[in-house]
Amino acid sequence: MKSAKKTKLAGMPGRLCLVITAGAMLVGLMAANSSGLNSKYPPLFKDTTKWPATFGFGRTATVAEIAKWDISIRPDGKGLPTGDGNVSKGAAIYTLKCAACHGVSGKEIPGIKLPAPALVSDTAAKSKPKTIGNYWPYATTLFDYVRRAMPYNLPGSLTDDEVYSVTAYLLSANKIIQPDAVLNAQNLPKIIMPAKKIFVVDDRKGGSEVK
Amino acid sequence: MEKEQKHHKEKSNSNISRRTMIGGAVAAAIIPVVSSFTKYIQAGVPVLSLVIDDPTKKIGPGPGKLGKRSPFEQPVKKPSDISSRSPLQDFYSTITPSDLHYERHHAGIPSIDPNQYELLIHGMVERPMKFSLADLKRFPSFTRICFLECSGNFRTGKEELTPQDILGLTSQSEWTGVLLSTLLREVGVSDKATWLIAEGSDAAVMTRSIPIKKALDDAIIAYGQNGEAIRPEQGYPARLLLPGWEGNTCVKWIRRIEITDQAYMAREETSKYTYPVNGKIRMFSFEMDARSIITFPSFPQKVEKGWIEIRGIAWTGRGKIIKVEISTDAGRTWGTARLQEPVLDKAHTYFRYLWQWKGDATEILSRAVDETGYTQPSLKQLVDARGADLGGYHLNPVTSWQIKPDGSVLFKPENWK
């Protein structure tokens, strides 16, 4: 505990700008955080004691641990696994594992309330109900959601190839891709969904205007 | 099949315990030292049979391990397949008893062993880390009161609706946890990061994209609710809490936070929790705008002529409520309600307004004003702003109750299509 350094822990609760004495390693850590634990992690409350650069609670996550849980798919395709699927295989899986809740065709059946939403319609933005064809802005979301949450009674039970196939079938049923298409990590993110152009980011801001 | 059998077994168990309960009730009628009044009620024993003629002449039950409600008070949530609504009309103030907190799940309530629980934070960080529940509890902790509200919180369409039916998908607790900014400081977030992905460990592995700015502002990883461990329905053992933001963003049972530089366009932020605005679809609507509801008088209560204290709650996701206005003449004139202090940031605020009812048919309304200057709009204002094809999300119109000459109170449904 020889090397002393004046460091402003401004971002920290307390921010009394105390002179702190720390070991060389700690100083290194603080230097890495530069002047700005303050500005970077703005404090919500004032503490009576100066916070250390780190508390040291928790442990480093391993690459394998991250890989096991990191299942999100980005719109640009990052996260998509290897493998592929096609429409006909997807149709078979749909009939077996999806149709019971979403209906034989995935289309809305007038007068009948299905246990799960309709998935298929024409792609006109005004058409009802909201389906993949007229309301889903990204094809990657379909893969991501089916893989993480479907089928409802056995979530996460489909193989990656099966998820590609179900995705292909649903996109084909909504007439977004051709019936002979084979989907994989390269071409899935390139699909432009009909609904994408109608999505806008919230612009409400409070104040006197009703939006 | 296995599931069915399990179901059957549970059912027959409950039959047995019901019989036991009835036996217990008989005993209770003789010996007033009882284990659970509530069970008698469930077994169908009239409340009156529990009343002792003169309570000053009989020694009552002694202290117990768990408190319970008076058998005369039976507030309950109102469940559907996917949600359960808080009985707003039964509350005298703004902390929701934890067992009456509203629920909204996307694949049921997961069962999580707190000893196995871990929160992973990774992505654009200096050091990806896992935190056990014990780790989370070691960090400097923080407590605050705020409301939660499902952004689909509004029902209308008929007169026989209670506050619970209309707006029961909101509740309020005192939450305790570690600020997310404290955890992000620990892992070291890249300057280029702008979003985070929050993911739950329910069977939907529910995911939302959240701007980092909110995480550094007032986000909490909460493990405490009203002084005890958070309830399973609210995210046990830990959840994300984003004060003032739509309930769905406050991911329950949180297990993973990925720091990133873009939104991932998860299902719950694209095909759900979005709504039509003038031919477009509005997404990433995070803040809950100001709204209010009169919880007394309300359907199916009846009022008597004379003085009535109109009561209710108002709230906003954008700060504090600064004013609640009340009309007792169907919106022609407005008076100012008294707000219960302290008025808290992003919190249910209890209001009261004295009114002398002379017995004429009328309508009573409330409207909230928040500190940004936003006034809770009428349904017409919302339709004018968004178009007639309003979705069900972020719909916060002023609502009114009809008071009939006989004192009955009915909701006033409004149609806009």
Q: Residue A130: which of B130, B271, B319 has the nearest Cβ?
A: B271
Answer yes or no: is pLDDT of B38 > 60. Answer: no
Per residue, the 3-state secondary structure of B325-337, as one string, reads EEECCCCCCCEEC
H or E stretch covering B148: strand B142-149
Mean pLDDT, rounded, for B305-310: 98
Task: Could you please state the CATH topology (level 3) that the domain comprising B98-276 is classified under.
Answer: Sulfite Oxidase; Chain A, domain 2 (3.90.420)
A189 located within any domain: yes
Residue B93, exposed/middle/buried by CB under 10 A (0-12, 13-18, 19+)?
Answer: exposed
A106 located within any domain: yes
The answer to whether residues A100 and A165 belong to one domain is yes
Answer yes or no: is pLDDT of B63 > 80. Answer: yes
Summarised one tens digit per residue, pLDDT across range A170-204 is: 999 999 999 999 999 999 999 999 999 999 999 99
Mean pLDDT, rounded, for A42-69: 94
Q: Is A60 on the interface with B (CB under 8 A)?
A: yes
- Please report the pLDDT score of residue B247 as a whole number: 98
Chain A 138-167, residues with CB within 8 Å of chain B CB atoms: 138, 140-141, 144-145, 148-149, 152, 155-156
Q: Residue B381: which of A137, A202, A210 has the nearest Cβ?
A: A210
What is chain A's mean pLDDT, rounded?
Answer: 85
What CATH architecture does domain B291-411 belong to? Sandwich (2.60)
Cβ–Cβ under 8 Å, residues B42 and B11: no
What is chain B's mean pLDDT, rounded?
Answer: 90
The answer to whether residues A90 and A184 belong to one domain is yes
Nearest-CA residue of chain B relative to A156?
Answer: B203
Q: How far is CA B291 from the centre of its chain?
A: 14
- Please report the pLDDT score of residue A159 as a whole number: 98
pTM for the full predicted model? 0.87
Summarised one tens digit per residue, pLDDT across range B339-375 is: 999 999 999 999 999 999 999 999 999 999 999 999 9
The residue ranges of every structural domain in chain B are: 14-74, 98-276, 291-411
In this predicted structure, which of B2-6, B358-362, B385-389 has the lowest mean pLDDT? B2-6
Q: Do B270 and A137 touch (CB under 8 A)?
A: yes
The answer to whether residues A102 and A180 belong to one domain is yes
The answer to whether residues A107 and A175 belong to one domain is yes
Answer yes or no: is pLDDT of A103 > 60. Answer: yes
Residue B78, exposed/middle/buried by CB under 10 A (0-12, 13-18, 19+)?
Answer: middle
The answer to whether residues A78 and A26 belong to one domain is no
Mean pLDDT, rounded, for B375-394: 95
Answer yes or no: is pLDDT of A3 > 50. Answer: no
Structural domain of residue A51, as residue ranges?
Answer: 1-58
- Please report the pLDDT score of residue B23 as a whole number: 36
Chain B residue numbers with beta carbons less than 8 Å from the beta carbon of A43 are 181
The answer to whether residues A108 and A168 belong to one domain is yes
- Please report the pLDDT score of residue A40 as a whole number: 87
Strand residue runs (E) in B202-337: 207-211, 220-225, 228-229, 239-241, 254-260, 275-277, 280-283, 291-296, 306-315, 321-327, 335-336
Name the residue with higher pLDDT: A111 or A137: A137
Answer yes or no: is pLDDT of B128 > 80. Answer: yes
Chain A residue numbers with beta carbons less than 8 Å from the beta carbon of B270 are 136-138, 141, 199
A203 located within any domain: no
User: Cα(B150)–Cα(B148) distance, rounded to whole angstroms?
Assistant: 7
- Where a domain ends, among A35, A58, A81? A58
The answer to whether residues A45 and A99 belong to one domain is no
Chain A residue numbers with beta carbons less than 8 Å from the beta carbon of B139 are 55, 57
Mean pLDDT, rounded, for B51-64: 88
Number of domains in chain A: 2
Nearest-CA residue of chain B relative to A209?
Answer: B374
| Complex confidence, ipTM | 0.85
H or E stretch covering B353: strand B349-357
A64 located within any domain: no
Residue A154's CATH number: 1.10.760.10
B67-76, Cβ contacts within 8 angstroms, sequence gap of 24 or more: B68/B36, B68/B37, B68/B38, B69/B38, B70/B37, B71/B37, B71/B38, B71/B40, B71/B41, B71/B47, B72/B47, B74/B41, B75/B100, B76/B100
Mean pLDDT, rounded, for B182-192: 97
Of A187, A167, A156, A140, whose CA–CA distance to A68 is shortest? A156
Chain B residue numbers with beta carbons less than 8 Å from the beta carbon of A67 are none
The answer to whether residues A89 and A185 belong to one domain is yes
Q: Do B128 and A155 touch (CB under 8 A)?
A: no
Q: Do A32 and B188 touch (CB under 8 A)?
A: yes
Answer yes or no: is pLDDT of A98 > 80. Answer: yes
Answer yes or no: is pLDDT of B43 > 50. Answer: no
The answer to whether residues A138 and A188 belong to one domain is yes
Answer yes or no: is pLDDT of A148 > 90. Answer: yes
Chain A residue numbers with beta carbons less than 8 Å from the beta carbon of B254 are none
Q: Looking at this protein, which amino acid is placed at residue B216?
A: L
